Amino acid sequence: GSAGSERAERAQLAAALERAEASVAHYAGQLAAVRDQLAMAKAAEARASGEARTAEAVATQLRGTLEMEREYRSQNQKEGHASGGAAGSQADAGSAEAAAEEREAELASAHLALIEAKIRLAELEYDKELYRGKASKLARQLQTLGGADTNPAWAQLSTKLEVKLAQSLQEVNRLKSQNEALEHDVSR
């Protein structure tokens, strides 16, 4: 009878130890996974913000180029009207026309680049919001893992998981020492 009850007690202890170790692994895994996801979401949001700033700078530069082009055109039109379209040589007229066509092509190219920059900027703003939403979702997930009723800061959330992890580790150690004590008693 006594040996049978000791075997049963050891089996129960071994099962409890296994459950406690599984619990430790579970909490450690959850904590690490959520922290990794949060770090990735924050890095992605920072990357998208940086790209958005770059795209905004490009768009600003292109707007400046287009504004300078408009001023140049309006200045040329005034000069053309002021001179009354004085007859110059054919060669001058031809080269002026070629230069005007080249400027038209540059202007069209700059305008297209501005449109592309605006589209890219909109895409980056969307990405940034997407990552911000993901980080917010992860914060709620960490809150759930921490079992918080209120909306605590990140540090508190991870601390709660770490406390659960520490409690599980204490339980593992308690069960191990209880198991060792039992084995010591049995071996006597």
CB 66 within 8 A of CB 111: yes
Per-residue 3-state assignment (H helix, E strand, C coil) for 60-86:
HHHHHHHHHHHHHHHHHHHHHHHCCCC
Number of domains in the chain: 1
What are the residues whose beta carbons fall under 8 Å from the beta carbon of 151, sequence distance 6 or more? 143
The CATH number of whichever domain residue 142 belongs to comes to: 1.10.287
Which candidate, 139, 141, 165, places its Cα nearest to that of 153? 139
Domain that holds residue 158: 2-187
Q: Give me the pLDDT at residue 84, please.
A: 57
**What are the pLDDT digits (tens) for 102-128?**
888 888 888 888 888 788 878 888 887
Confidence bin at 147 (pLDDT 50/70/90)? very low
| Structure confidence by residue, pLDDT tens digits, 28-53 | 888 888 888 888 888 887 887 888 88
> Maximum CA pair distance of the chain?
126
Residue 22 clears pLDDT 70, i.e. is over it: yes
The CB density around residue 51, as the number of other CB atoms within 10 Å, is 17
Taking each continuous run of H as one helix and of E as one strand, the counts in the chain are 3, 0
Q: For residue 145, what pLDDT is reported?
A: 66
pLDDT tens digits along 60-95 = 888 888 888 888 878 877 876 666 555 556 667 788
pLDDT number for residue 151: 45
At 109, list the tokens.
């190219």
Strands, DSSP E only, in the chain? none
**Token pair 């039992």: residue:** 182
Q: CA 171 to CA 19: how far, in whole Å?
A: 10
Q: What pTM was computed for the model?
A: 0.46
In this prediction, residue 157 carries a pLDDT of 57
Calculate what percentage of the chain has a pLDDT beyond 90: 0
- Locate 34 and state its tokens: 């959520």
Answer for the pair 117, 55: CB distance below 8 angstroms, yes or no: yes
Three-state DSSP class for 151? coil
Residue written as tokens 């001058």? 92
